[in-house]
Structure 1
Amino acid sequence: MKTTNELLLNWTIEKIKKEYNNDVALLIGNTSLKMEQDKEGSYFDYFVPINEKGNNLAETFIINGIGYDLYPRSWKRLEDMANLLDDNNLHCLADGEILYYKNEEVKNKFISLQDKLKKNLQDKELMSKKSLEKLAIAMELYQTMMFEESIGNVRMAAGFIADFLSLAVAYSNHTYFKYNQVEQIKELFVMKTIPDNFIEYYKAIINADSINELKNLCHLIILTTRKYIKMKKAPIQPSHCEINYTDLSFWYQELCYTWRRIYFYCDNKDVEKVFIWSCYLQQELNTIKEEFKLQDMDLLGHYHSNNLSDIRNQANVLEKYIVSEITTHGVQLNAFESIDEFLSRKS
């Protein structure tokens, strides 16, 4: 005797053949989110429409208390999934079972997207980037959560933070969750590497009963994930393009006045202005570090409100380093000792 899932699958395929033969390319199965007692026989997950009419196959219904959702996923959505864009439900593509296909062309197209996803999952630079993206989302959620006063809202944010951080960890391991969020902790256990205490913090979030506890745990799980991703970050590949140190000279000539400000306000013990201009300069230094492949340039780590001499000295060290990088690469600064020199050379 056939199961409900098998009878339902037969009904769906016959409906496609009779009513949507030229409108539906594929019917894909996946039982990963079904409970064990509901997994008997093959089960449809989604279909791939060919045109707008094909979308009309979509239907939701309930049979014997069980909800079913026959929904469409476009080729574009599947292609985005293969390229790890937006959609986190990678198991829908990676583990999708072809239950019906209109022809060999669409069948092979689906298989090629599965292969593309597998290839992208092994791309170190891409997966490092995607891991950082998930971490950034979790941190944005955390920022908002810190201002929430409802435990329900805080708990929901904590759940999503744990989810996005888990995705970051999975991507760092060049894999995905076969059961989406359902078995995350179980799947994390078997990954090659995970952040220190990550599962401990995840379980604690699940069992937390207060707002402060949830917020503190989210801080800890984000902190350990940041350290982990920083350690795992793919090394930057040497650029095949030559660095244009003339552009760096243009940058310095524009920013050198900021150094002058910092020196002046340090000498005059104007703490507020030193702080503000140092924050601005630090951001600029962080930007050019990546663009011109420079060393770490920490300025604000030397800021002390009750003693400005340290940050002044560090600013001077960094300025000399930038000038040295420019001049040792054969670029001459467009600098003049006086207005007379400027006018004489420009006339």
Structure 2
Amino acid sequence: MKLNQDKVVDWIRDRAQREFPTDVALVLLYGSYVNKTTHRLSDVDCYFIPATDRGYAFAETFIVDGIGYDVFPMSWERVGRIADLGEPLLPLVGDAEILYARSTKDIERFNALKNRMVDRLADVEIRNAKARTQLENAAEELRDVSASTNLHDVRKHAGAAFLRLADAIVLANGTYFHQGLKRHFENLADLPRIPAGFHGNYTAAIRAKTPEELLDRLQSALDATARFLDAPIPKTNPSTDERHTPSTPDPDELVSFYEELLSSFNKIRVNAEQGEWRMAFVNGVNLAREIDGVCREFGFPPLMFLDVYDPDDLTAFRKRVEIVDKELTALIERYKPIPRHLDFDSFLHSLR
């Protein structure tokens, strides 16, 4: 696995230098490969900043030895929004390592954004305003919890709400989750300030067996976070069941979606093997949001799995996730087969 990762990183760098030397401003690595927290199914987290329209063609998704890789673009404008705390993706700026740079000016521009992010985090007024935005996002998810009719959807929306509350809390402390979700709960525990009862409510919500208990814990956590931020409890409009006309799938986009999503399936596989019940829940929530979104977009049947989650025995959850993987694969391969390469050399051969 480590050998494939190193080969992927070398290939990404060489391809930028050889095929896109003036079209890509920067290529950056982040995540487990950079912070040395890989597991047996870890991918390489990588994005790039295009310098021209042609630079967007540097994007690539592929599967090698059961691991999905996604080299994706982010514009300078989006990186700037992250630096201004506009998206909870701060490690992609604050902890990224430059793999390739078109020029020293591009490096200086990126480092200026990193410094700007540090300044924003140090500004109490700015960071608290962004924290309150995350509180409002959590309230929107709480609204959807109340409108949900099955345990899968309840857990999906409640889990997303707790993630937004966690983002609010960490921002209010002037920092962020440097390793993303990898050490999510440990990082929360290390914060100097946290809303009263938040840890207990979060844990109890993950372990909750019924929608009622989960909703109660989420409401308590949201109220406590609002008090912590000295903010009013956000008002939300009632949830509406808007009719959606399914789109016609683009076969290439569907395949790329799966190649990118495979890392989420793999995280749950590793969580189940290691008995990491809290991270299995969190990663399951993120996987459900992605799958439910594409099913709704293209009119696919719902693929539910959070309803069988049991923190004391992840066996049934793991099995259901495997079934969902196969069912999603079958839906996508109605339109186009998903290429799977045994090793990195066979992937390179497919590009010739």
Same fold (TM over 0.5): yes
Q: Report the counterpart of residue 121 of structure 1 in structure 2.
A: 121
Q: Which residue of 2 aligns with 1:26?
A: 26
Alignment of 1:297-312 (within 5 A): none
Distance 1:180 1:166 in 2: 12
Is the Cα contact below 8 Å between 2:141 and 2:161 reproduced in 1? yes
Give the length in aligned residue pairs: 229
Structure 1 CA distance for aligned equivalents of residues 61 and 37 of structure 2: 18
1:150-189 CA distances to partner (integer Å, 9 max, x unpaired)?
1111111110110010011001101111232343211111
1:54 maps to which residue? 55
Task: Confirm or deny: 8 A CA contact 2:29 2:97 kept in the other structure.
Answer: yes
**Secondary structure at the residue paired with 2:68?**
strand
CA distance in 1, matches of 2:37, 2:64: 15
Match of 2:304 in 1: none
Structure 2, unpaired ranges of 5+: 232-352
TM-score, normalised to structure 2, is: 0.62
Residue deviations 1:55-76, cap 9 Å, x none? 1011111111111101111111
CA distance in 2, matches of 1:147, 1:191: 33
How large is the Cα RMSD of the aligned pairs?
2.2
Find the aligned partners of 1:107 and 1:80 in 2 and give their Cα distance.
18
Task: Tell me the equivalent position of 2:39.
Answer: 37
CA distance 1:196–1:44, shift in 2 (3 Å)? closer
Instruction: Identify which range, 146-155 or 113-122, moves more after superposition.
Output: 146-155
* CA 144–65 in structure 1, closer or farther in 2 if over 3 Å, else same: closer
Q: Which runs of 5+ in 1 are unaligned?
A: 232-347
1:45–1:63 distance in 2 versus 1, CA, 3 Å: same
Distance 1:57 1:130, change over 3 A: same
Query: Hey, which bits of structure 1, 4+ residues long, moved more than 6 A?
Result: none
Instruction: Tell me: higher relative CO, structure 1 or 2? Use CA pairs within 8 A at least 6 residues apart.
Output: 2
Superposition deviation, residue 9 in structure 1: 1.5
* Percent of residue pairs bearing the same amino acid type: 29
1:1-347 equivalent positions in 2, closer than 5 A: 3-32=3-32, 36-38=38-40, 43=44, 45-85=46-86, 87-230=87-230
Give the deviation of 1:146 after TM superposition.
Answer: 1.4
Deviation at 1:224, TM superposition (A): 1.2
Q: Does the 8 Å contact 2:32/2:44 carry over to 1?
A: no
- Distance change (3 Å), C-alpha of 1:135 and 1:58: same
Alpha-carbon distance in structure 2 between the residues aligned to 1:180 and 1:44: 11
Q: Distance in 2 between matches of 1:68 and 1:12?
A: 11
Compare CA radii of gyration and give the structure with the larger one. 1
Question: Which whole-Å CA distance do the structure 2 matches of 1:15 and 1:139 have between them?
Answer: 44
The offset of 1:144, in angstroms, is 2.7
Aligned AA (1:36):
T
Residues 38 and 119 from structure 1, CA distance in 2 versus in 1: closer, same or farther, beyond 3 angstroms? Answer: farther
